[in-house]
Chain A
Amino acid sequence: MSDNVGKPIPRYDGVGHVSGTTTYVDDVQLPGMLYMKVLRSPVHKGVIHQLDVSPAEKMPGVAGAVTAKNVPGLNAYGMGGDQPVFSPGPIRYKGEVIAAVAAVDEDTAMEALDQIQLDIEEETPVFDPFEAMKEGAPLVRPEGNVFKFNSGMTRKVRLGDVEAGFKEADFIIKGTYTNGVNDHAPMETQASVAYIDATDRLAIHTCSQDLYFHLGMLSAIFGLPMNKIRYIGGTVGGGFGSKNDLHCDHIAGVMALKIRKPVKYRLTRQEETLFTTKRGAWTFQFKDGVKKDGRIVARQIKTIHDSGAYNAMGNYVVDKNAILIAGPFAIPNIWIDGICVFTNKPPSSSQRGFGIINGTSAEQLQMNRIAEVIGMDPWEIRFINAWREGDLGATQFKVVAAGLIEAMQKAAALAGIELPAHLKTMSSQRR
């Protein structure tokens, strides 16, 4: 064996990065390449009565226009499989893609969009997930505004008996915490170049973070087997989760398959910030039962996640959050209800920390507030409750290679904080 592992070795593509020779999708320029722009819904919610792209197609400099009719395979993608490539209506969020044109340059493409005949009847949207959950709220999607898990209208986690836990507690401490809507904001905006290659296959230059995850979706959208799509990528100018969802490849591919010319479709920063998937908002409601000695004996949590208009990864993140939101603590009685709500907003999807950053943001504030209420040092309350090796988490997974105590000890030492002796000698290997 050599010993490269453990060494601070500069990155493989570092020379390319510092030379400016690393190629990103927008650097790809092909002979005869056309530029695409998309027609987006101007309303948050509505019904399309008429869509006619033929005036745009007839314009000089325009090579083609596509709508839902032109999707060769399945007009649907996303983990929930419910978002159309082009919406034929009803519209569920402002900015939703309805049609696309390809032209000699972006200015001509923008003018062509203006020629498209779109007759759309606006309806009343719902933005507030708490309103969306109510009886009689505008329907965001036909299945209802709240996702139905295999456990019912919430993701249920039930460990032990929280009511018994609350009864034996010395303190009951409640807290409500919220997260706003975040954008990934990678420096490289979404872009795609699609063309028919010399082997008569569809080739797509992509900034996807997940070549095979998306290849499967694209295969269904284009009605092509996987080996008839050459999905080119591997080096991305920042992802943070934004490129776990399709934003351009499916649209560019549909156009390239129709007109058999190379096309580039890239988002402006404005489109990126307004219309790509977001880290949707959360509300967390905690009720904890805590003993005088600092042990948390019962934790009840309700989570409400605003998944936006489609199920890009909505129920997935509520699930993921539910696994770990009770924190890295050995709490015997845990009750979690995770709710995934749909509203008329751009879909929520994965962003760095996906569900965990959100849970941490809440439960760690809750821990510090507990420490304040019971008059305990915030380090102490964490050490006392911290997982040890072999403990069971809220969903009954076993903690393997536990290291919370050691990480806290190291952080305290680096910060010059002298922990009391009994905390300094604690270990993940014993309670």
Chain B
Amino acid sequence: MKKRGIGISCNIHPAGLKGGGDPSQAQIRLKPDGTFDLLNGAVDIGQGCKTILRQLASDELGIPLEAITHNNFDTDIGPMCTGTFASRVTFMDGNAVIRAARDLKAKIKTFAAAQLGVEPDRLELADNTVFIKDDPKKAMSMGDLGRAANWGGEFLVGIGAYIPGPMQDFDAETGKMTAIASLAFGACVAEVEVDTETGEVNVLKLVQAFDVGKAINPLLCKGQINGGSMMGISFALTENQLPYYPDMDFASDNLGDYVLTTSADMPGEMISGLVEIPHPNGPRGAKGFGEMTASASPPAILSAIHDAIGVWITDYPATPERILKALEAKKTKK
């Protein structure tokens, strides 16, 4: 028999290392033709930091996206970044990049001011030019600026570093620990169908919403939600490297036994939306959110199973074996 059920959950995730103290750096330099290089130490593991960091920098400098590269190829080139973990790169490296861009912007203004014969504070950067705010026709293209600066013996480089706060330890008695760079929030509604003869669960529908502070790149945000959901489904239903935990017997050693989701496991409907409640310290208000999209669905799925068949599976993953055992136990109790 196939039974359907609905379950809900909500979740949170902090950005940054526990206790803080995790800095990142960025360096942006102006080339002789007015294009830019961003040097940064963050590793892209697929989340897309190379893209969003350029988006942040290009907006600050008023340049097209194509005018700036991202370079993180090795530790000779890329300055320090604590690492790509803890949903921290958008927040920490994003802030470092904004600081570097603003530092460079100030230097560009100082140089251009001398060229244009005005005070730096009368200048603005937009549309790949530097121009006088109240007389916009008086401008220098970024190309002309690059040429004039570099061939004039100037090296215009912006640097920025960001640390959310110094590293903090827990208070030994109370556990007081206040170092949290940002908190992002999420909620999930899951609809499942449970086959009471085989114990298999089909996730029919996942509806999720996340408050990300500011969606720097909605395409990448959606990728995290849809992608994280596939990981959430297998966390909820199939992933167990030691199926007879704590015993080591039958430990999975291949991807046939350690069951991950495929396209065939996609819910028929995957709906998601973003909320933007900006964080005062986040880059353009953004909060770190990459990890949490795998965390929202599992408890919603197990709650939906309960709604469907009236048993609480309280051990993850809710494998067919566990579901059938729970159904059997429920029958015997009656």
Contacts and interface: CB of A to CB of B under 8 A. Distances in A.
A and B touching (Cβ–Cβ under 8 A): yes
Interface of A: 1-13, 44, 94, 127-129, 149-152, 155-159, 175-183, 185, 208-213, 215, 226-227, 229-241, 243-244, 269-270, 273-274, 278, 281, 306, 316, 319-320, 322-324, 327-328, 336, 343, 345, 350, 352-354, 356-357, 360-362, 364-365, 367-369, 378-379, 382, 386, 393-404, 406-408, 410-412, 414-415, 417, 428
Interface in B267-323: 271-273, 275, 277-282, 284, 287, 291-292, 294-296, 298-300, 302-303, 306, 312, 314-317
9 contacts: A149-B170, A158-B173, A239-B43, A239-B46, A244-B83, A270-B253, A365-B312, A386-B10, A410-B275
A401 B10 contact: no
B1 interface: no
Given A395-B177, A400-B182, A211 B58 contact: no
Contact of A156 (B41, B172, B178, B273): B172
Interface stretch (B26-34, B147-155, B194-202, B244-252): B244-252
Contact of A408 (B45, B59, B85, B187): B187
A356 B13 contact: yes
B273 A410 contact: yes
Contacts of A369: 312
B74 A180 contact: no
Interface string B224-248: 0000100100010001111101111
Interface stretch (B115-123, B132-140, B204-212, B324-332): B204-212
A230 B179 contact: no
A5 B284 contact: yes
Top-9 shortest CB links A-B = A210-B83, A403-B211, A157-B175, A8-B219, A364-B299, A410-B209, A239-B45, A411-B187, A234-B72
Given A209-B45, A328-B183, A397-B180, 14 more contacts: A12-B70, A13-B44, A178-B316, A180-B243, A181-B242, A210-B84, A240-B231, A281-B242, A353-B294, A402-B277, A406-B211, A411-B207, A414-B207, A417-B189
A399 B12 CA distance: 11
Contacts of A243: 45
A126 B303 CA distance: 34
A232 B41 CA distance: 11
B21 interface: no
B50 A212 contact: no
A195 B169 CA distance: 39
A360 B18 contact: no
Nearest to B47: A239
B169 A150 contact: yes
B95 interface: no
Nearest to A179: B316
A396 B178 contact: yes
A6 B184 CA distance: 18
A404 B86 CA distance: 20
A369 to B, nearest CB: 7
Most buried by B among A2, A181, A233: A2
Given A5-B56, A183-B252, A323-B180, A411 B246 contact: no
A2 B11 contact: no
Contacts, number: 384
A48 B296 CA distance: 45
Contacts of B113: none
Contacts of A5: 55-56, 59, 214, 216-217, 284
A160 B11 CA distance: 24
A2 B64 CA distance: 7
B85 A323 contact: no
Contacts of A237: 46
A180 B316 contact: yes
Nearest to B252: A273
A213 B82 contact: yes
Contacts of B253: 269-270, 273-274
Contacts of B219: 8-10
- Choose among A129, A157, A410, A414 the residue with the greatest number of B CB atoms under 10 Å from its CB: A410
B173 A151 contact: yes
Nearest to B236: A361
Interface string B1-39: 000000111111110001100000000000000000000
B218 interface: yes
A411 B188 CA distance: 6
A414 B82 contact: no
Interface in B57-91: 58-60, 62-65, 70, 72-76, 78, 80-86
Contacts of A345: 242, 248
B262 interface: no
A232 B279 CA distance: 34
Given A316-B18, A403-B211, A398 B178 contact: yes
B291 A408 contact: no
Contacts of B70: 12
A356 B295 contact: yes
Give the interface centre of B10, B205, B284, B306 by most chain A CB atoms within 10 Å. Answer: B10
Contacts of A396: 174, 176-178
